[in-house]
């Protein structure tokens, strides 16, 4: 098996183990900085083999503290997924971008753009988790005023 963008399961399992360790450490309140550093090292190794694929870019974005870098990585991941016709990653990354613009940037106009992209992407790749994210995004937009044209 491979990821939707072509990374072998054997290679991706290392990333999966790293992310599980980070989540576990975070849930225990432990310092996860060394684990994150290890994850980034593994992602660089995969990038050297596979290139800048959406799975690699989006995973790095998930664990990057720099808001500008996170935004850049997510946008590049989406563009890469689009170029590959990787509907699974297009769906997941558009969900991440919609959440990013609501939660991190408080930019309703861009959040709505990515929410609409997510809704369209769900037509090509259906996923229960992402459908719940879309519902949550719709809920979080309620009561907020519509963006005014610039």
**pLDDT value at residue 73:** 98
Q: What is the DSSP annotation of 32-65? A: -HHHHHHHHHHHHHHHHHH-S-HHHHHHHHHT--
φ, ψ (nearest 5 deg) of residue 4: -65, -20
**pLDDT value at residue 88:** 97
Q: Over its length of 150 residues, how does the chain's per-residue pLDDT go in tens digits? A: 799 999 999 999 999 999 999 999 999 999 999 999 999 999 999 999 999 999 999 999 999 999 999 999 999 999 999 999 999 999 999 999 999 999 999 999 999 999 999 999 999 999 999 999 888 887 566 555 444 444
The CATH code belonging to domain 9-141 is 1.25.40.10
Cα 121 to chain centroid, rounded: 14
Residues 6+ apart with CB under 8 A from 75: 97
Domain ranges of the chain: 9-141
pTM: 0.89
């Amino acid at each position: 098996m491979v990821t939707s963008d072509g990374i072998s399961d054997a290679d991706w399992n290392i990333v999966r183990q790293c992310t599980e360790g980070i989540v576990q450490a975070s849930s225990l309140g432990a310092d996860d900085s060394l684990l994150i550093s290890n994850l980034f090292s593994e992602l660089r190794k995969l990038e050297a083999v596979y290139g800048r694929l959406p799975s690699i870019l989006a995973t790095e974005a998930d664990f990057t503290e720099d808001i500008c870098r996170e935004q850049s990585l997510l946008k590049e991941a989406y563009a890469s997924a689009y170029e590959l016709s990787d509907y699974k990653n297009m769906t997941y990354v558009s969900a991440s971008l919609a959440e990013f613009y609501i939660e991190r940037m408080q930019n309703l106009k861009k959040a709505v753009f990515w929410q609409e992209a997510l809704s369209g992407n769900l037509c090509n790749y259906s996923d229960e988790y992402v459908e719940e994210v879309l519902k949550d995004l719709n809920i979080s937009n309620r009561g907020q005023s519509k963006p005014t044209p610039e």
